[in-house]
Every structure is written in structure tokens, then in C-alpha cells.
Amino acid sequence: MFKLLTSGGVLLASAFLSAGGLFGLWTPDIELSELKSRYGATAQNFVTVDGLDVHFKDTGPRDAPVLLLLHGFGSSLQTWDIWSSKLEEHYRVIRLDLPGFGLTGPSPVHDYSEQNDVSTLSHFVDKLGLSSFSLMGHSMGGKMAWGLAALMPERVEALVLMAPDGYPQIKDIGKKPYEMPAIMGVMKFCLPKILVRKSIEPAFFDASVLSESLVDRYYDMLRAPGVRAAILDRANQTIYTDPVPRLKKITAPTLLIWGEADQMIPSSNAKSYSEVLSKSQTVLLPRLGHLLQEEQPEKALEKVVEFLNSTLKR
């Protein structure tokens, strides 16, 4: 769900959704039990936090440094599958479906504010008994990652921000950047798969590498119970705030990494972050878009591993 958050995407969505209504393209949710079976989720993959049954995966050596991975808007923990398979050789890798997404599903109080997101994450790491950890966040998950790093700087050892959201221009502070028109509510009932594909394509520099299996996974997770309504709630609740006071609280060494061809969050934003963060380095990758971990996973992962190994002295 990327292009849906732009005016062009809303127009495209309106056309498809209107057509969907005409042709009876009813798209119901998939039963949670079916999704659990399809994606190998067992009871051990859930923990209750703030009334949410949070879906997570915890792999790698238990005595290794901990990496907490946070996905972006409209995504799920499977976005990290390729990276996790490599990182878990030397790190304990924990990834979760964030509130409102994937098999975690909607917040019971329907609160998707910055404050509530960071509070839930802090309770999650407490529930897992993580006294120290490193954070890796992509896009929306990047905003949550730096928010958590600002809340508990003494516990965050390293921070990787991949095209992070949350650094608006001064004139946009206090505005709702993703507020959706009423027509988008039809998405809860009608969601053609082609619309999902068209929403993901702008997140790639080379959309030809977007596989059908990846589109299927996004499509499945958007049809998890209550997720589409939660996405609309989150979009309409998101308000830009001033990030500077919180970013100045972060003490962890930070890697800012972007695809130079990112159409979702421009790589020029890296400069704004680097001017505020106390310890940061920036990597811009040519011919890559927004979804670094899925378009050409090995390119960005190489830079991330170099940073983690040097920072955490593995």
C-alpha cells in the first residue's frame, strides 16, 4: 500500500474500486486460522501486549546481540525473510507485525498515534525481557524505530533507518499527510489484486523484478482480519510532529540508508536526519527504490551488515 497514499493513487483506487463494485469484486478477509496455517504461525509466535496478540518471529542464537526489525506501512514481518535468513547466523533476530498489520491485526482501541505505537513497542521489548537491543526500521517502521530509540537511548545499541518516515518540512508539522477521502473506505470490501500490484510498483526502481509471489503475500496480509480498516484508521490519524527534540535524544550510532531512486520518501531527507543525529553515517544506493530489502536484498544488506559488525564488534 504505497501509491494509495498519493493523490494519483487515490484516483487509481477510485476507478478500480468503482469498477469492482459494478462487477461484484467482493474481497472478504481471509480467516486468521487460514493465514496462520499458510504462513507457519503457531501459538509460540504470539505474545499479548496492550490487548494485542502480537505476531512475531524470534530466530538466531539466544546469546547473540539482538536485532529488532520493524516493517513499513502496509507490510508485514515477511518483508525481512531474506535478510533474516542471513542476519540470524550471527544475531538474534526479532521481527513482528506492527499494530494494524499482518497477523497482529487491529488495535483494540483503534489508536495508531505515534505515542501509542512507541508505547506498545516499549511494552513488547519489556515482555520479551530485552535489556539491550539494536533497531532496524523501514519507512513507517523507521519512524517507530527512531521514536523508540529516543524513548530508551540507554537500551538501544545501534540504529538502522531505511528511508525512515517522520521528518516533515516545517510547514507540514501539524498536518495529516495521509488522510484519505471517503471513497477509500470501499477498500474494506473490494480490493482487486491488480490495485495491490500497482500500489507496490512505485516502491521499486525496476518494477519488472516484482514477483507474483511477493504480490500474493502483500495481498494476503491486506486481507488479514481487520487490517484494511486499521490501515484507513492509521492513515487518517497520522499527524506530522516536530522530530528534532526526539532525534536529539538518540545516542546510538545510526546508519541512514536509502535507495537514490526512492519515490516514496526522497533520499534528500537523509541530510535532515544527519544534521540532527549525534552519530550517523549515510549510504545512498543507486538504481534502487523504496523497498531495499525486497528489490535487490543483497545490496543494502551488505552495507547493513558492515555497519552492524563494526558497531556491535562482531
User: CATH code at 111?
Assistant: 3.40.50.1820
User: Does residue 140 fall inside a structural domain?
Assistant: yes
Task: Name the percent of the chain lying above pLDDT 70.
Answer: 92
- Find cell 530466530 and name the residue: 59
Q: What are φ and ψ of residue 65, in 5° steps?
A: -55, 145
pLDDT of res. 313: 74
Alpha helices in the chain (DSSP H): 7-22, 32-38, 81-87, 114-127, 140-151, 193-200, 212-222, 227-237, 244-247, 269-276, 292-295, 297-311
User: Does residue 205 fall inside a structural domain?
Assistant: yes
User: Does residue 251 fall inside a structural domain?
Assistant: yes
- Find cell 470490501 and name the residue: 189
User: Does residue 289 fall inside a structural domain?
Assistant: yes
pLDDT bucket at 14, cuts 50 / 70 / 90: low
Q: Give the angle 262-241-95 at the CA atoms, nearest 5°.
A: 60
Task: Name the percent of the chain lying above pLDDT 90.
Answer: 86
- Find cell 473490494 and name the residue: 190
pLDDT of res. 52: 97
**What's the pTM value of the predicted model, to 2 decimals?**
0.94
Say which residues have a Cβ less than 8 Å from residue 286's Cβ, sequence separation at least 6: 260, 261
Mean pLDDT rounded to a whole number for the chain: 92
Is it the case that residue 30 has pLDDT exceeding 90? yes
Q: How far is Cα 124 from Cα 77, in angstroms, rounded to an integer?
A: 15
What are the tens digits of pLDDT across the range 88-107? Answer: 999 999 999 999 999 999 99
pLDDT bucket at 8, cuts 50 / 70 / 90: very low
pLDDT of res. 224: 98
User: Does residue 130 fall inside a structural domain?
Assistant: yes
What are the tens digits of pLDDT across the range 223-272? Answer: 999 999 999 999 999 999 999 999 999 999 999 999 999 999 999 999 99
- Which range, of 18-22, 39-43, 178-182, 199-203, averages the lowest pLDDT? 18-22
Task: Give me the mean pLDDT over the 73-81 stretch.
Answer: 97
Task: Give me the mean pLDDT over the 70-81 stretch.
Answer: 97
What are the tens digits of pLDDT across the range 186-228? Answer: 888 899 999 999 999 999 999 999 999 999 999 999 999 999 9
pLDDT of res. 18: 53
User: Does residue 314 fall inside a structural domain?
Assistant: no
Q: The domain containing residue 248 runs over which residues?
A: 3-309
Q: How many structural domains does the chain have?
A: 1
User: Does residue 126 fall inside a structural domain?
Assistant: yes
